[in-house]
Chains A and B, each alone.
Chain A
Amino acid sequence: MNLVIIKYNAGNIQSVLYALERIGVSAIVTDDYKKIKSADKIIFPGVGEASSAMRYLKERGLDTVIKNLQQPVLGICLGMQLMCKYSEENDTECLGIFDEEVKKFKVQSSKFKAPQIGWNTIFNLQSSIFKDVKENSYCYFVHGYYAAFGDKTIATTDYVLPYSSALHKNNFYGLQFHPEKSAAAGEQILKNFIHL
Protein backbone atom coordinates (compact mmCIF):
# COMPACT_ATOMS: atom_id res chain seq x y z
CA MET A 1 0.00 0.00 0.00
CA ASN A 2 1.17 3.47 -0.92
CA LEU A 3 0.77 5.60 2.20
CA VAL A 4 1.68 9.29 2.17
CA ILE A 5 2.14 11.70 5.05
CA ILE A 6 1.66 15.30 3.95
CA LYS A 7 4.70 17.42 4.73
CA TYR A 8 4.09 21.06 5.62
CA ASN A 9 5.24 23.68 8.11
CA ALA A 10 3.89 21.92 11.19
CA GLY A 11 5.56 19.85 13.88
CA ASN A 12 5.18 16.25 14.92
CA ILE A 13 5.25 14.79 11.42
CA GLN A 14 8.18 12.44 12.08
CA SER A 15 6.37 11.02 15.11
CA VAL A 16 3.56 9.77 12.86
CA LEU A 17 6.09 8.11 10.56
CA TYR A 18 7.76 6.34 13.52
CA ALA A 19 4.40 5.23 14.93
CA LEU A 20 3.52 3.65 11.57
CA GLU A 21 6.90 1.92 11.52
CA ARG A 22 6.13 0.42 14.94
CA ILE A 23 2.97 -1.19 13.55
CA GLY A 24 4.90 -2.42 10.52
CA VAL A 25 3.71 0.11 7.94
CA SER A 26 6.01 2.21 5.80
CA ALA A 27 5.04 5.64 4.52
CA ILE A 28 6.62 8.51 2.67
CA VAL A 29 6.62 12.11 3.88
CA THR A 30 6.14 14.53 1.00
CA ASP A 31 4.61 17.81 -0.15
CA ASP A 32 4.67 16.71 -3.82
CA TYR A 33 1.05 16.97 -4.97
CA LYS A 34 1.49 14.23 -7.57
CA LYS A 35 2.60 11.73 -4.93
CA ILE A 36 -0.22 12.86 -2.63
CA LYS A 37 -2.85 12.48 -5.35
CA SER A 38 -1.64 9.03 -6.37
CA ALA A 39 -1.41 7.63 -2.80
CA ASP A 40 -3.75 4.90 -1.58
CA LYS A 41 -4.16 6.59 1.77
CA ILE A 42 -3.07 9.92 3.16
CA ILE A 43 -2.29 11.19 6.63
CA PHE A 44 -2.44 14.93 7.30
CA PRO A 45 -0.81 15.38 10.72
CA GLY A 46 0.58 18.37 12.53
CA VAL A 47 1.00 20.50 15.60
CA GLY A 48 1.19 24.23 15.05
CA GLU A 49 -0.71 27.40 14.27
CA ALA A 50 -3.67 27.48 11.86
CA SER A 51 -3.14 30.65 9.80
CA SER A 52 0.53 30.05 8.97
CA ALA A 53 -0.24 26.41 8.13
CA MET A 54 -3.10 27.43 5.80
CA ARG A 55 -0.92 30.06 4.12
CA TYR A 56 1.78 27.44 3.53
CA LEU A 57 -0.73 25.00 2.02
CA LYS A 58 -2.26 27.67 -0.24
CA GLU A 59 1.12 28.86 -1.51
CA ARG A 60 1.78 25.32 -2.73
CA GLY A 61 -1.73 24.66 -3.98
CA LEU A 62 -2.07 21.87 -1.46
CA ASP A 63 -5.35 23.26 -0.09
CA THR A 64 -7.15 22.39 -3.34
CA VAL A 65 -5.34 19.05 -3.60
CA ILE A 66 -6.39 17.96 -0.09
CA LYS A 67 -10.03 19.05 -0.49
CA ASN A 68 -10.43 17.04 -3.69
CA LEU A 69 -8.85 13.79 -2.53
CA GLN A 70 -11.06 10.74 -3.07
CA GLN A 71 -9.03 8.19 -1.11
CA PRO A 72 -9.13 7.84 2.72
CA VAL A 73 -7.55 10.86 4.43
CA LEU A 74 -6.75 11.02 8.15
CA GLY A 75 -6.24 14.47 9.68
CA ILE A 76 -4.55 14.56 13.08
CA CYS A 77 -4.72 17.46 15.57
CA LEU A 78 -4.02 20.63 13.56
CA GLY A 79 -4.61 18.55 10.41
CA MET A 80 -8.17 17.84 11.57
CA GLN A 81 -8.77 21.47 12.52
CA LEU A 82 -7.58 22.62 9.10
CA MET A 83 -10.13 20.26 7.53
CA CYS A 84 -12.91 22.24 9.25
CA LYS A 85 -14.59 25.34 7.84
CA TYR A 86 -13.11 28.04 10.01
CA SER A 87 -10.76 28.42 12.99
CA GLU A 88 -10.85 31.17 15.59
CA GLU A 89 -7.07 30.80 15.76
CA ASN A 90 -6.01 34.04 14.07
CA ASP A 91 -9.38 34.19 12.25
CA THR A 92 -8.49 31.56 9.66
CA GLU A 93 -10.60 30.26 6.78
CA CYS A 94 -9.77 26.55 6.57
CA LEU A 95 -10.42 23.80 4.02
CA GLY A 96 -14.16 23.44 4.67
CA ILE A 97 -14.34 19.66 4.41
CA PHE A 98 -16.21 19.56 7.72
CA ASP A 99 -18.80 22.25 8.50
CA GLU A 100 -17.78 22.27 12.15
CA GLU A 101 -16.02 25.39 13.42
CA VAL A 102 -12.84 25.42 15.49
CA LYS A 103 -13.09 27.53 18.63
CA LYS A 104 -10.80 28.50 21.46
CA PHE A 105 -11.25 26.89 24.87
CA LYS A 106 -12.74 29.57 27.09
CA VAL A 107 -11.33 28.91 30.51
CA GLN A 108 -13.22 30.61 33.33
CA SER A 109 -11.81 28.98 36.44
CA SER A 110 -8.51 27.55 37.63
CA LYS A 111 -10.18 24.14 37.28
CA PHE A 112 -9.32 24.11 33.59
CA LYS A 113 -6.13 25.16 31.88
CA ALA A 114 -5.58 25.89 28.23
CA PRO A 115 -4.15 24.34 26.16
CA GLN A 116 -5.44 20.97 27.26
CA ILE A 117 -2.33 18.84 27.67
CA GLY A 118 -2.61 15.20 28.61
CA TRP A 119 -4.76 12.11 28.56
CA ASN A 120 -8.53 12.30 28.27
CA THR A 121 -11.25 9.86 27.28
CA ILE A 122 -13.01 9.45 23.94
CA PHE A 123 -16.63 8.23 24.00
CA ASN A 124 -19.74 7.74 21.85
CA LEU A 125 -17.46 6.08 19.31
CA GLN A 126 -19.35 5.77 16.02
CA SER A 127 -17.03 4.64 13.26
CA SER A 128 -15.14 1.61 12.03
CA ILE A 129 -11.97 3.59 12.65
CA PHE A 130 -12.63 2.79 16.33
CA LYS A 131 -12.98 -0.96 15.78
CA ASP A 132 -11.65 -2.83 18.86
CA VAL A 133 -11.17 0.49 20.68
CA LYS A 134 -13.09 0.54 23.96
CA GLU A 135 -15.49 3.30 24.91
CA ASN A 136 -13.74 5.76 27.24
CA SER A 137 -10.27 4.81 26.06
CA TYR A 138 -7.65 7.35 27.03
CA CYS A 139 -5.91 9.27 24.26
CA TYR A 140 -3.25 11.97 24.31
CA PHE A 141 -4.36 15.54 23.56
CA VAL A 142 -2.40 18.77 23.13
CA HIS A 143 -4.59 21.62 21.91
CA GLY A 144 -5.91 25.06 22.79
CA TYR A 145 -8.68 25.04 20.15
CA TYR A 146 -11.41 22.48 19.60
CA ALA A 147 -13.87 21.48 16.88
CA ALA A 148 -17.44 22.05 17.99
CA PHE A 149 -19.85 19.16 18.38
CA GLY A 150 -21.77 18.51 15.14
CA ASP A 151 -23.45 15.91 12.93
CA LYS A 152 -20.08 14.66 11.65
CA THR A 153 -18.84 13.95 15.18
CA ILE A 154 -17.79 10.30 15.58
CA ALA A 155 -16.12 10.61 19.00
CA THR A 156 -16.69 12.99 21.86
CA THR A 157 -14.36 14.27 24.57
CA ASP A 158 -15.24 16.45 27.53
CA TYR A 159 -12.93 19.30 28.48
CA VAL A 160 -14.56 22.57 29.55
CA LEU A 161 -17.43 21.31 27.34
CA PRO A 162 -18.18 18.25 25.18
CA TYR A 163 -16.55 18.65 21.77
CA SER A 164 -15.59 16.61 18.69
CA SER A 165 -12.52 14.51 19.33
CA ALA A 166 -13.08 12.84 15.95
CA LEU A 167 -14.96 13.74 12.76
CA HIS A 168 -15.90 11.72 9.68
CA LYS A 169 -17.38 12.69 6.33
CA ASN A 170 -17.14 10.48 3.23
CA ASN A 171 -13.44 9.60 2.79
CA PHE A 172 -12.24 12.16 5.35
CA TYR A 173 -11.46 11.31 8.98
CA GLY A 174 -10.16 13.70 11.62
CA LEU A 175 -8.75 13.02 15.08
CA GLN A 176 -8.11 15.80 17.59
CA PHE A 177 -5.87 13.59 19.75
CA HIS A 178 -2.55 12.11 18.71
CA PRO A 179 -2.93 8.40 17.89
CA GLU A 180 0.84 8.26 17.35
CA LYS A 181 1.30 9.15 21.03
CA SER A 182 -1.73 7.40 22.51
CA ALA A 183 -0.14 4.07 23.44
CA ALA A 184 -2.11 0.91 22.53
CA ALA A 185 -5.42 2.67 21.79
CA GLY A 186 -3.71 4.98 19.33
CA GLU A 187 -1.93 2.13 17.60
CA GLN A 188 -5.25 0.32 17.14
CA ILE A 189 -6.80 3.42 15.55
CA LEU A 190 -3.86 3.79 13.15
CA LYS A 191 -4.17 0.10 12.23
CA ASN A 192 -7.90 0.55 11.63
CA PHE A 193 -7.24 3.48 9.28
CA ILE A 194 -4.64 1.43 7.40
CA HIS A 195 -7.17 -1.43 7.03
CA LEU A 196 -10.17 0.74 6.03
Chain B
Amino acid sequence: MLTKRIIPCLDIKDGRTVKGTNFINLRDAGDPAELGVLYAKQGADELVFLDITATHEKRKTLSALVNRIAHHINIPFTVGGGISSVEDVRVLLQNGADKISVNTAAFNSPALITELEKEFGSQCVVLAIDARKEEDGEWYVYLNGGRLKTETKCVDWAKQGVALGAGEILLTSMNHDGTKQGFALDITKLLAESLPVPVIASGGGGTMDHFVDVFEEGKADAALAASIFHFREIDITDLKKFLAQKSICVRL
Protein backbone atom coordinates (compact mmCIF):
# COMPACT_ATOMS: atom_id res chain seq x y z
CA MET B 1 0.00 0.00 0.00
CA LEU B 2 1.22 3.48 -0.85
CA THR B 3 2.26 5.17 2.39
CA LYS B 4 1.55 8.59 3.82
CA ARG B 5 4.72 10.64 3.70
CA ILE B 6 6.48 12.68 6.37
CA ILE B 7 8.48 15.51 4.85
CA PRO B 8 10.81 17.75 6.83
CA CYS B 9 11.18 21.12 5.17
CA LEU B 10 14.47 22.93 5.34
CA ASP B 11 14.07 26.62 4.73
CA ILE B 12 17.32 27.98 3.39
CA LYS B 13 18.89 31.38 3.64
CA ASP B 14 22.51 31.97 2.65
CA GLY B 15 23.08 28.20 2.51
CA ARG B 16 21.85 27.63 6.07
CA THR B 17 18.62 26.19 7.42
CA VAL B 18 16.26 28.65 9.02
CA LYS B 19 12.67 28.62 10.20
CA GLY B 20 10.65 31.56 11.38
CA THR B 21 7.26 31.91 12.94
CA ASN B 22 4.73 33.14 10.38
CA PHE B 23 7.66 33.79 8.04
CA ILE B 24 9.28 36.37 10.34
CA ASN B 25 12.02 36.10 13.04
CA LEU B 26 14.35 33.62 11.41
CA ARG B 27 16.36 31.20 13.52
CA ASP B 28 19.42 29.24 12.39
CA ALA B 29 19.08 25.47 12.62
CA GLY B 30 22.14 24.14 10.85
CA ASP B 31 23.67 22.87 7.67
CA PRO B 32 21.08 21.72 5.09
CA ALA B 33 23.00 18.72 3.73
CA GLU B 34 23.95 17.46 7.19
CA LEU B 35 20.43 17.88 8.46
CA GLY B 36 19.10 16.14 5.33
CA VAL B 37 21.25 13.07 5.96
CA LEU B 38 20.09 12.99 9.59
CA TYR B 39 16.43 13.15 8.56
CA ALA B 40 16.89 10.44 5.93
CA LYS B 41 18.41 8.17 8.60
CA GLN B 42 15.53 8.92 10.96
CA GLY B 43 13.05 7.76 8.32
CA ALA B 44 11.97 10.95 6.56
CA ASP B 45 10.26 9.95 3.32
CA GLU B 46 11.30 12.97 1.34
CA LEU B 47 12.84 16.38 1.91
CA VAL B 48 11.92 19.84 0.74
CA PHE B 49 14.47 22.63 0.50
CA LEU B 50 12.92 26.05 0.12
CA ASP B 51 14.97 29.16 -0.39
CA ILE B 52 12.54 31.43 1.42
CA THR B 53 14.37 34.62 0.57
CA ALA B 54 14.69 33.85 -3.11
CA THR B 55 11.58 35.52 -4.44
CA HIS B 56 12.22 38.69 -2.51
CA GLU B 57 15.90 38.95 -3.38
CA LYS B 58 15.62 37.38 -6.86
CA ARG B 59 18.31 34.94 -5.87
CA LYS B 60 18.61 31.82 -8.02
CA THR B 61 21.88 30.16 -7.24
CA LEU B 62 21.03 27.10 -5.21
CA SER B 63 22.71 24.73 -7.60
CA ALA B 64 25.94 24.21 -5.64
CA LEU B 65 24.01 23.41 -2.48
CA VAL B 66 21.62 21.14 -4.37
CA ASN B 67 24.54 19.23 -5.84
CA ARG B 68 26.06 18.72 -2.40
CA ILE B 69 22.72 17.54 -1.00
CA ALA B 70 22.21 15.14 -3.93
CA HIS B 71 25.55 13.51 -3.26
CA HIS B 72 24.65 12.83 0.35
CA ILE B 73 21.02 11.79 0.68
CA ASN B 74 19.34 8.57 -0.49
CA ILE B 75 15.71 9.73 -0.52
CA PRO B 76 13.94 12.09 -2.94
CA PHE B 77 14.05 15.83 -2.49
CA THR B 78 12.30 18.90 -3.83
CA VAL B 79 13.87 22.31 -4.29
CA GLY B 80 11.95 25.57 -4.41
CA GLY B 81 12.39 29.28 -4.01
CA GLY B 82 12.51 31.89 -6.73
CA ILE B 83 12.26 29.40 -9.59
CA SER B 84 10.92 31.23 -12.62
CA SER B 85 12.15 29.53 -15.79
CA VAL B 86 12.76 26.24 -17.56
CA GLU B 87 16.49 26.95 -17.34
CA ASP B 88 16.34 27.44 -13.54
CA VAL B 89 14.71 24.02 -13.29
CA ARG B 90 17.08 22.32 -15.71
CA VAL B 91 20.07 23.41 -13.61
CA LEU B 92 18.48 22.16 -10.37
CA LEU B 93 17.45 18.79 -11.86
CA GLN B 94 20.86 18.33 -13.44
CA ASN B 95 22.40 18.91 -10.04
CA GLY B 96 20.33 16.08 -8.61
CA ALA B 97 17.01 17.53 -7.43
CA ASP B 98 14.10 15.13 -7.97
CA LYS B 99 11.37 17.73 -8.09
CA ILE B 100 11.12 21.48 -8.05
CA SER B 101 8.41 23.65 -6.59
CA VAL B 102 7.09 26.82 -8.13
CA ASN B 103 4.97 29.43 -6.42
CA THR B 104 4.84 33.16 -7.24
CA ALA B 105 6.37 32.90 -10.72
CA ALA B 106 3.83 30.24 -11.71
CA PHE B 107 0.95 32.38 -10.46
CA ASN B 108 2.21 35.38 -12.41
CA SER B 109 2.88 33.28 -15.49
CA PRO B 110 0.79 30.08 -15.42
CA ALA B 111 2.24 28.91 -18.75
CA LEU B 112 5.45 28.20 -16.83
CA ILE B 113 3.78 25.13 -15.28
CA THR B 114 2.94 23.71 -18.70
CA GLU B 115 6.42 24.46 -20.04
CA LEU B 116 7.95 22.59 -17.10
CA GLU B 117 5.54 19.69 -17.47
CA LYS B 118 6.33 19.36 -21.19
CA GLU B 119 10.07 19.57 -20.64
CA PHE B 120 10.53 17.48 -17.49
CA GLY B 121 7.22 15.72 -16.77
CA SER B 122 4.51 16.52 -14.22
CA GLN B 123 6.10 14.18 -11.67
CA CYS B 124 8.76 16.77 -10.91
CA VAL B 125 6.54 19.87 -10.90
CA VAL B 126 5.21 20.74 -7.43
CA LEU B 127 2.91 23.74 -7.21
CA ALA B 128 3.41 25.44 -3.84
CA ILE B 129 0.53 27.58 -2.65
CA ASP B 130 0.60 29.88 0.37
CA ALA B 131 -3.00 30.41 1.44
CA ARG B 132 -4.73 32.43 4.13
CA LYS B 133 -8.28 32.10 5.36
CA GLU B 134 -9.89 35.54 5.43
CA GLU B 135 -12.80 36.86 7.44
CA ASP B 136 -15.21 35.87 4.69
CA GLY B 137 -14.29 32.24 5.40
CA GLU B 138 -12.56 31.75 2.04
CA TRP B 139 -8.98 30.72 1.43
CA TYR B 140 -6.99 33.14 -0.75
CA VAL B 141 -3.66 32.75 -2.51
CA TYR B 142 -0.75 34.85 -1.24
CA LEU B 143 2.46 35.52 -3.16
CA ASN B 144 6.04 36.61 -2.45
CA GLY B 145 6.44 34.43 0.62
CA GLY B 146 3.12 35.54 2.05
CA ARG B 147 3.65 39.26 1.64
CA LEU B 148 1.23 39.90 -1.23
CA LYS B 149 -2.47 39.05 -1.15
CA THR B 150 -4.34 38.09 -4.31
CA GLU B 151 -8.07 37.88 -4.96
CA THR B 152 -7.74 34.30 -6.25
CA LYS B 153 -9.23 31.51 -4.19
CA CYS B 154 -6.84 28.73 -3.24
CA VAL B 155 -9.00 25.90 -4.59
CA ASP B 156 -9.41 27.62 -7.97
CA TRP B 157 -5.67 28.14 -8.40
CA ALA B 158 -4.89 24.60 -7.28
CA LYS B 159 -7.31 23.14 -9.85
CA GLN B 160 -5.92 25.37 -12.58
CA GLY B 161 -2.37 24.45 -11.64
CA VAL B 162 -3.09 20.75 -11.91
CA ALA B 163 -4.86 21.26 -15.25
CA LEU B 164 -1.75 23.08 -16.48
CA GLY B 165 0.51 20.21 -15.49
CA ALA B 166 1.44 20.34 -11.80
CA GLY B 167 1.97 16.84 -10.43
CA GLU B 168 1.64 17.66 -6.76
CA ILE B 169 0.32 20.49 -4.57
CA LEU B 170 2.21 21.80 -1.54
CA LEU B 171 -0.36 23.70 0.49
CA THR B 172 0.82 26.00 3.28
CA SER B 173 -1.74 27.58 5.57
CA MET B 174 -0.44 30.97 6.65
CA ASN B 175 -3.01 31.02 9.45
CA HIS B 176 -1.49 27.88 10.93
CA ASP B 177 2.17 28.17 9.97
CA GLY B 178 4.37 28.48 13.04
CA THR B 179 1.48 28.15 15.50
CA LYS B 180 1.92 24.45 16.34
CA GLN B 181 -1.86 24.33 16.79
CA GLY B 182 -2.53 21.75 14.08
CA PHE B 183 -2.84 21.73 10.29
CA ALA B 184 -5.60 23.46 8.29
CA LEU B 185 -7.84 20.43 7.94
CA ASP B 186 -10.68 22.02 5.98
CA ILE B 187 -8.72 23.36 3.00
CA THR B 188 -6.41 20.34 3.00
CA LYS B 189 -9.38 17.99 2.77
CA LEU B 190 -11.04 20.10 0.09
CA LEU B 191 -7.94 19.99 -2.10
CA ALA B 192 -7.09 16.35 -1.37
CA GLU B 193 -10.58 15.19 -2.30
CA SER B 194 -11.04 17.38 -5.36
CA LEU B 195 -7.64 17.05 -7.04
CA PRO B 196 -6.30 14.00 -8.92
CA VAL B 197 -2.74 14.61 -7.65
CA PRO B 198 -1.18 14.24 -4.18
CA VAL B 199 -1.55 17.06 -1.66
CA ILE B 200 1.20 17.87 0.84
CA ALA B 201 -0.14 19.71 3.89
CA SER B 202 2.08 22.28 5.55
CA GLY B 203 1.78 24.66 8.45
CA GLY B 204 0.74 24.08 12.04
CA GLY B 205 2.02 20.61 12.88
CA GLY B 206 2.94 20.73 16.58
CA THR B 207 2.08 17.35 18.07
CA MET B 208 1.98 13.79 16.79
CA ASP B 209 -1.81 13.87 16.99
CA HIS B 210 -1.85 16.76 14.53
CA PHE B 211 -0.27 14.44 11.96
CA VAL B 212 -2.91 11.79 12.62
CA ASP B 213 -5.57 14.46 12.07
CA VAL B 214 -4.13 15.76 8.82
CA PHE B 215 -3.98 12.24 7.35
CA GLU B 216 -7.31 10.98 8.69
CA GLU B 217 -9.48 14.09 8.61
CA GLY B 218 -7.50 16.24 6.19
CA LYS B 219 -6.96 13.31 3.76
CA ALA B 220 -3.47 14.63 3.02
CA ASP B 221 -1.07 12.41 1.07
CA ALA B 222 1.92 13.88 2.87
CA ALA B 223 2.59 16.22 5.76
CA LEU B 224 5.40 18.73 5.93
CA ALA B 225 6.90 20.43 8.96
CA ALA B 226 10.09 22.22 9.86
CA SER B 227 10.91 23.63 13.28
CA ILE B 228 9.40 20.78 15.28
CA PHE B 229 11.87 18.49 13.53
CA HIS B 230 14.79 20.92 13.52
CA PHE B 231 14.56 21.54 17.25
CA ARG B 232 13.91 17.85 18.06
CA GLU B 233 10.48 18.57 19.52
CA ILE B 234 9.24 15.59 17.52
CA ASP B 235 11.51 12.75 16.46
CA ILE B 236 10.64 11.46 12.98
CA THR B 237 11.18 7.81 13.95
CA ASP B 238 8.87 8.19 16.95
CA LEU B 239 6.30 10.03 14.86
CA LYS B 240 6.16 7.26 12.26
CA LYS B 241 5.84 4.56 14.92
CA PHE B 242 3.01 6.57 16.48
CA LEU B 243 1.24 6.87 13.11
CA ALA B 244 1.63 3.13 12.51
CA GLN B 245 0.03 2.45 15.92
CA LYS B 246 -2.88 4.60 14.78
CA SER B 247 -3.24 2.34 11.71
CA ILE B 248 -1.88 4.95 9.29
CA CYS B 249 0.25 3.33 6.59
CA VAL B 250 3.81 4.63 6.87
CA ARG B 251 7.25 3.34 5.91
CA LEU B 252 9.05 2.01 8.97
Interface of A toward B, CB cutoff 8 Å: 11-12, 14-15, 18-19, 21-22, 47-49, 107, 110, 113-121, 138, 140-144, 158-159, 178, 180-184, 186-187
Report whether A22 and B71 are in contact in the complex, using a CB–CB cutoff of 8 Å: yes
Stretch at the interface among B27-35, B91-99, B180-188: B91-99
A18 with B221: in contact, given A47-B124, A110-B193 (CB under 8 Å)?
no
Is the C-beta of B40 less than 8 angstroms from some C-beta in chain A? yes
List residues of chain B with CB within 8 A of the CB of A178. Answer: 76
Q: Are B98 and A14 in contact (CB under 8 A)?
A: no
A11 touches B76 (CB 8 A): no
If A14-B70, A18-B71, A107-B196 are given as contacts, then 16 extra A-B residue pairs at C-beta distance below 8 Å, sorted by A number, are A11-B121, A18-B70, A18-B96, A22-B72, A113-B196, A115-B122, A116-B2, A117-B167, A118-B3, A118-B5, A118-B45, A140-B76, A142-B76, A159-B2, A181-B74, A183-B74
Which partner residue on chain B sits nearest A160 by CB separation? B2
Partner of B74, one of A22, A141, A143: A22
Residues on B with C-beta less than 8 A from A186 are 74
**Cα of A187 to Cα of B73 in the assembled complex, Å:** 11
* Chain B residue at minimal CB-CB distance from A77: B123
Smallest distance from the beta carbon of A118 to chain B beta carbons, Å?
5
| Residue among B1, B95, B121 making CB contact with A14, cutoff 8 Å | B95
- Residue in contact with A115 in the complex, picked from B5, B74, B96, B167, CB distance below 8 Å: B167
Bound-state Cα–Cα, A119 to B45, Å: 8
Indicate if the CB atoms of B168 and A21 lie closer than 8 Å: no
A182 to B70, CA, bound (A): 13
Interface centre among A14, A107, A144 (most CB of B within 10 A): A14
The digit string for B71-104, where 1 denotes a CB below 8 A from any CB of A, is 1101110000000000000000111101000000
Whether B2 lies near A47 (C-beta < 8 A) is no
Chain A residues lying within 8 Å of B76, measured Cβ to Cβ, are 140, 142, 178, 181
